[in-house]
Structure 1
Amino acid sequence: MVSPATQSDEILESARRSLKRVRMGPPIGTKSRALRRAHFFGKLARTGVAVGVLLIGAGIIGAILDGIGFWGVMITGVLGAAAVYALMRYPEMPMPTTESLRQTDLGTLAGKTEIWLEVQRPALPAPAIPLVQNIGLRLDALAPQLQTLAETDPASREVRKLVGEHLPELINGYKRIPEPLRRQDNGGKTPEQQLVDGLKLIDREIETMTGQIARGELDKLATRGRFLEIRYDGAGEETGA
């Protein structure tokens, strides 16, 4: 028997998950929407198979026993409803993390990055929201170009470094700053302004990468200086000084 405390914990956890989904807001790109749709239809297919198996099983039992009777129909209905509820609710779509983005295959990197950005969006200041939306559009344009790259290609590493490392580092660094300090001047700019400037730079970098991959300029993409890398290295040296 489930204790009241356990039931309360489950209700609170369900409420937290629902609130998180609401706060995520609409998708910022078509690739994240496609991943969500694929997850939903995967659950729908498993649910259909489970219900089909249950009905076939009930039919076989009914043929053997010359009918399953009223209670057999009721039990089948209850089991079917329980299967639909459980399989359509679980498993929930796994949310990408900073660590998982570094290991995501190129085929789903754009979509999972969009989902990650959608999760972070509620914690970002208003000036950053349009930039996040625009980065979603850039990632949509980049996704088909990533299909042309091999996982071992040096250009692939540059894309991963920008999308899977620099972008999360920028946003996570901002989120680590206490709320009262985010609008205070720090070396001529507030953390909020630094975040916006960083997102603008990443937006331009993704656009540049997309064009270079489309034109086949992989050597240029793999060897040219990375502005964000220089920026972060410089910031690290200043911090350590």
Structure 2
Amino acid sequence: MKSRALRRAHFYGKLARAGIAVGALLIGAGIIGAIIDGIGFWGVMITGALGAAAIYALMRYPEMPMPTVETLRQTDLATLAGKTEIWLEAQRAALPAPAIPVVQNIGLRLDALAPQLQTLAETDPASREVRKLVGEHLPELINGYRRIPETLRRQDNGGKTPEQQLVDGLKRIDREIETMTGQIARGELDKLATRERFLEIRYDGASETAQ
């Protein structure tokens, strides 16, 4: 999945920095040893301790930044799908059981969408549609549900509970991502950019229940 690819890239970046630091430390110790005719037992011990400390610090920090709603709206298209997956994974614990399979499927849809986003320019009107759906509608739907007190999440609100509204909204987004992926793959960017379909994500009803 793209989220794993981003995590691997972050890990390998830290690993490379740790390797460079240890290499520089060993070169420095070698130069000092050549100048003073050896660094001795304690020099070796100090070099080893500094190397271990460098590896520990550089492999632990910096931690991979967790995407937020704000950063999702600003991130580049190439990493938008992967970062959205990471954000979704962090929300799962707060979601009801019926929503989990849908969220997992959205993750798979985002994986399929990611290569298509590579073909879009940031200025393309279709890019705005993708950003709206993935960077705005999806987070707003989940955050709107999370703002509702737990005691009200299973109470009827206009024929549906907030939990049902959440699941229905996620299913609509899942279908929309599938549609977008197909249209971008077929080069139907004009159709994607000009269509006027409205995602019926019922935030308002859920918000009224929360008040």
**TM-score between the two structures when normalised by the length of structure 1:** 0.83
1:123–1:175 contact (8 Å) kept in structure 2: yes
Are the structure 2 counterparts of residues 218 and 233 from structure 1 closer, same or farther at C-alpha, using a change threshold of 3 Å?
Answer: farther
What stretches of structure 1 move > 4 A for 4+ residues in a row? Answer: 229-235, 237-241
Q: 1:230: how far off?
A: 8.0
Q: 1:225: how far off?
A: 1.4
| Distance in 2 (alpha carbons) for counterparts of 1:232 and 1:175 | 11
1:96–1:112 contact (8 Å) kept in structure 2: yes
Instruction: Give the corresponding residue for 2:210.
Output: 240
Q: Encode CA deviations 1:68-118: one digit per residue, 9 max, x unaligned.
A: 011111110110010000000000000000000001100000000000000
Instruction: Give the corresponding residue for 2:119.
Output: 148
Q: 1:231: how far off?
A: 5.7
**TM-score between the two structures when normalised by the length of structure 2:** 0.95
1:145–1:210 contact (8 Å) kept in structure 2: yes
Q: How does 1:87-98 map to 2 (within 5 A)?
A: 87-98=58-69
1:138–1:206 contact (8 Å) kept in structure 2: yes
1:36–1:93 contact (8 Å) kept in structure 2: yes
Q: 1:233: how far off?
A: 8.5
Q: Which runs of 5+ in 1 are unaligned?
A: 1-30
2:153–2:163 contact (8 Å) kept in structure 1: yes
2:141–2:201 contact (8 Å) kept in structure 1: no
Q: Which runs of 5+ in 2 are unaligned?
A: none
2:165–2:201 contact (8 Å) kept in structure 1: no
Matched, 1:61 2:32: yes
Which deviates the most, 223-232 or 84-93? 223-232
1:114–1:136 contact (8 Å) kept in structure 2: yes
| Distance in 2 (alpha carbons) for counterparts of 1:186 and 1:234 | 7
1:51–1:83 contact (8 Å) kept in structure 2: yes
Q: 1:239: how far off?
A: 10
Q: Encode CA deviations 1:181-219: one digit per residue, 9 max, x unaligned.
A: 111111111110000000000000000000011111111
Aligned residues: 210
Are the structure 2 counterparts of residues 233 and 147 from structure 1 closer, same or farther at C-alpha, using a change threshold of 3 Å?
Answer: farther
SS state at 1:239 partner:
helix
| Distance in 1 (alpha carbons) for counterparts of 2:202 and 2:8 | 37
What is the Cα-based RMSD across aligned positions, in Å? 2.2
Q: 1:226: how far off?
A: 3.2
| Distance in 2 (alpha carbons) for counterparts of 1:114 and 1:196 | 17
1:166–1:229 contact (8 Å) kept in structure 2: no
Q: How does 1:149-188 map to 2 (within 5 A)?
A: 149-188=120-159
| Distance in 2 (alpha carbons) for counterparts of 1:239 and 1:193 | 13
Are the structure 2 counterparts of residues 119 and 230 from structure 1 closer, same or farther at C-alpha, using a change threshold of 3 Å?
Answer: closer
